[in-house]
C-alpha cells in the first residue's frame, strides 16, 4: 500500500502496463534491495544506475526517474517496449531487410557506448527491446561499466555463455569492446536464422565450436554477403575482429 500510494502521488499506477501518458507508455523495473543478492545490490546495481544516468541515445532505453519507496525498494521508471528479439525469434527469423534496419540501430547504440568508453558485456536478444514500431532499445546494464583500458576487465567473466566471446570463455585477458562485437555477431546470426550459431550445453567445449565457420541449415536462406558479414563479426581472434567503429562504417557505407 505504501508503494502504490507513493506512486499514485507521482502519477503512476501499478499494473501490467504502468503510467500510460499522452505521448508514451512507461515501464517500472522494481528492485527489492532486501531480497536481491548481495553482489547485485552492492556491485552490479550501482554500476547500472550510474550508466543509466549517463547514457542518452535513441536506441538505448531511456530512464525517466528513480524512485525510492518505503525501505529498500527502488523503482526505475523507463520507457516501455512491447517485446524483445528473443520473443521475435521464438516465432520465426526476421526478413533480411528488416534485420539490417534493426541491427543498424543496435550497432549505433553500441558505437555510442564505446565512444563514451562504456561496455555492455551482456548483449543478447533478450536485452534488445523493441517498441510497437520495431524501434530498437538496448537495455540491462547490470554487467556494464566504464572501460578504462584493455585488459582491465580481463578477470571478470560475465554475460551469457551462448553470446560470450571465446577469449572470455577461455578465461584469458580480453578487450571488453571486442567482446561486445562478438555478441553482436551472435545476435545477427539469430536474427536471420531463428536459431543459435553454437550449442552452449557444454561451455567447456564451446570455444572449440567457435573456431569453426558458422553453419547454416538447409531450410534457412541467408544471402552470402550477410554470411560473410557475420563471419567478419565472429572472428575467433580478437585482434582480427573489427571494432564497433569499423562495423558501423561497413554497415552505413554498404
Map out the domains of the chain as residue ranges.
2-79, 83-252
Tell me the pTM. 0.84
Rounded CA-CA distance 201/234 in Å is 19
Mean pLDDT of the 211-226 span: 88
- Which of the four pLDDT bands, split at 50, 70 and 90, describes residue 206? very high
Prior bond to 12 cis, omega within 30?
no
Flag whether pLDDT at 77 surpasses 70: yes
- Which of the four pLDDT bands, split at 50, 70 and 90, describes residue 20? very low
Q: Check if 2-79 and 83-252 are the same fold.
A: no
- Residue written as grid cell 557505407: 253
Assign domain 83-252 to its CATH architecture. Answer: Orthogonal Bundle (1.10)
* Per-residue pLDDT, 35: 79
Query: How much of the chain, in percent, has pLDDT values that exceed 90?
Result: 43
* Per-residue pLDDT, 236: 97
- Encode pLDDT of 51-72 as tens digits: 888 889 999 988 887 777 766 7
Flag whether pLDDT at 12 surpasses 70: no
Fold of the domain built from segment(s) 2-79 = Phosphorylase Kinase; domain 1 (3.30.200)
Flag whether pLDDT at 250 surpasses 70: yes
* Among 39, 58, 84, 122, the one annotated catalytic: 122
> Is 199 known to be catalytic?
no
Flag whether pLDDT at 89 surpasses 80: no
Amino acid at each position: 500500500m505504501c508503494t502504490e500510494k507513493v506512486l499514485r502521488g507521482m502519477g503512476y499506477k501499478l499494473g501490467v502496463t504502468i503510467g500510460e501518458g499522452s505521448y508514451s507508455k512507461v515501464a517500472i523495473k522494481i528492485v527489492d534491495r532486501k531480497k536481491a543478492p548481495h553482489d547485485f545490490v552492492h556491485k552490479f546495481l550501482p554500476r547500472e544506475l550510474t550508466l543509466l544516468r549517463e547514457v542518452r541515445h535513441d536506441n538505448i532505453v531511456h530512464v525517466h526517474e528513480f524512485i525510492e519507496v518505503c525501505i529498500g525498494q527502488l523503482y526505475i521508471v523507463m520507457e516501455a517496449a512491447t517485446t524483445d528479439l528473443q520473443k521475435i525469434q521464438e516465432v520465426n527469423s526476421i526478413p533480411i531487410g528488416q534485420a539490417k534496419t534493426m541491427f543498424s540501430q543496435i550497432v549505433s547504440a553500441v558505437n555510442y557506448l564505446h565512444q563514451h568508453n562504456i561496455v555492455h558485456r551482456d548483449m543478447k536478444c533478450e536485452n534488445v527491446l523493441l517498441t510497437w514500431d520495431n524501434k530498437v532499445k538496448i537495455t540491462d546494464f547490470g554487467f556494464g561499466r566504464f572501460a578504462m583500458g584493455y585488459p582491465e576487465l580481463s578477470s571478470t567473466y560475465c554475460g551469457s555463455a551462448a553470446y560470450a566471446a571465446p577469449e572470455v570463455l577461455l578465461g584469458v585477458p580480453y578487450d571488453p569492446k571486442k567482446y561486445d562485437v562478438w555478441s553482436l555477431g551472435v545476435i545477427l546470426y539469430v536474427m536471420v536464422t531463428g536459431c543459435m550459431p553454437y550449442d552452449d550445453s557444454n561451455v567447456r567445449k564451446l570455444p572449440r565450436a567457435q573456431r569453426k565457420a558458422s553453419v547454416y541449415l538447409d531450410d534457412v536462406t541467408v544471402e552470402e554477403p550477410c554470411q560473410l558479414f557475420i563471419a567478419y563479426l565472429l572472428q575467433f581472434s580478437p585482434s582480427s575482429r573489427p571494432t564497433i567503429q569499423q562495423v558501423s562504417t561497413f554497415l552505413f557505407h554498404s
